[in-house]
Amino acid sequence: MEHITCLRCGSGCRSLLIEGPPKVHRVMCKNRRCKCAAEYFQQDGRVVTQEIIPSW
């Protein structure tokens, strides 16, 4: 599992791998004050940021 950092606050994130195709990492920030979410696509073993989805 790759290390994923929140692009909004810089905290670490936890991710859920959703089997595809394509495989998608559903990422939730560990910082409860930030509460953002992001979607990552895993391509060739690397995680590529697709979109940042604010949850507020």
pLDDT per residue over 34-50, tens digit each? 666 555 555 555 666 65
Q: State the Cα–Cα distance between residues 21 and 4, nearest whole angstrom.
A: 21
What is the rounded average pLDDT for all residues in the chain? Answer: 63
Q: State the Cα–Cα distance between residues 39 and 3, nearest whole angstrom.
A: 14
Q: What is the CA radius of gyration of the chain?
A: 11
The confidence band for 10, taking pLDDT boundaries of 50, 70 and 90, is confident
Q: Confirm whether pTM is higher than 0.85.
A: no
* pLDDT for 7 beyond 50: yes
Enter the CATH code of domain 1-42: 2.20.25
- Would you say 2 and 17 are in contact if contact means Cβ atoms under 8 Å apart? no
